[in-house]
Chains A and B, each alone.
Chain A
């Protein structure tokens, strides 16, 4: 149950795009198409942004998109807005009804 690897920080200018990576193993990210991403603003509960690698829940802007290649998943935020500044966590199924989170990435909008 080792945490997935995310960069501690990422940044992009207003209106530009940024991609956050999430690297695991064949026992989690690489083995299942059940990667999700969560946005967390300071002092708030996490919010589901992407599920099943690429799908967006209703109400999440289409500026948010997800992908996966091998053992690495990615979250791309296009057209960065001030409200996108937050911590982002990836999560993956890890078999037998267990999950593993990434260490989190602090996204700064310049």
Chain B
């Protein structure tokens, strides 16, 4: 069974840092393109970042470019999001999601984790 489990959320001060993790099971994470999506409290979904299968293509939303870094550890079958220079507007639930292109669900996110809450406040 495919599962994605995020962790690492919590309270951070403005200007601070947090590192989110997303542990995958039931599939090999490096065989799929992966993304991070966030949702501010009571708001809609926002795409945040993408990493290709090869790891050579990485993209970010303009709102986080230069502050967030996506990465992957094949040995741990895990995805990460390093978040630096945090701002109040980064407060959100952060979801990792699998791009289902390999299974025919092109440019769509077929599995999602349960999310981890990041709160940026002094």
A32 to B107 CA separation, bound complex (whole angstroms): 10
What is the chain A residue whose CB lies nearest that of B48?
A99
Q: Is the CB of B105 within 8 A of A34?
A: no
Chain A residues contacting B115 (CB-CB under 8 Å) are 45
Chain A interface residue count, Cβ-Cβ cutoff 8 angstroms: 26
Instruction: Indicate if A24 sits at the interface (CB-CB under 8 A).
Output: no
- Residue in B33, B45, B114 whose CB lies within 8 Å of A38: B45
| Min CB–CB distance A29 → chain B (angstroms) | 12
| Min CB–CB distance A60 → chain B (angstroms) | 11
Q: A residues 61-102 with Cβ under 8 Å of B? A: 89, 91, 93, 96-102
A27 to B45 CA separation, bound complex (whole angstroms): 19
- Residue in A3, A47, A98 whose CB lies within 8 Å of B59: A98
Instruction: Indicate if A15 sits at the interface (CB-CB under 8 A).
Output: no
Q: Is the CB of B112 within 8 A of A46?
A: yes
Q: Is the CB of A101 within 8 A of B59?
A: no
Q: Is the CB of A51 within 8 A of B108?
A: yes
Instruction: Indicate if B46 sits at the interface (CB-CB under 8 A).
Output: yes
Instruction: Indicate if B109 sits at the interface (CB-CB under 8 A).
Output: yes
| Min CB–CB distance A51 → chain B (angstroms) | 4
A45 to B22 CA separation, bound complex (whole angstroms): 14
Q: Is the CB of A48 within 8 A of B105?
A: yes
Residue ranges of B at the interface with A (Cβ–Cβ < 8 Å): 33, 35, 37, 44-47, 50, 52, 57, 59, 61-63, 95, 97, 100, 105-110, 112-115
- List of 7 A-B pairs having minimum Cβ-Cβ separation, nearest first: A34-B107, A51-B108, A36-B108, A45-B112, A104-B44, A99-B47, A101-B45
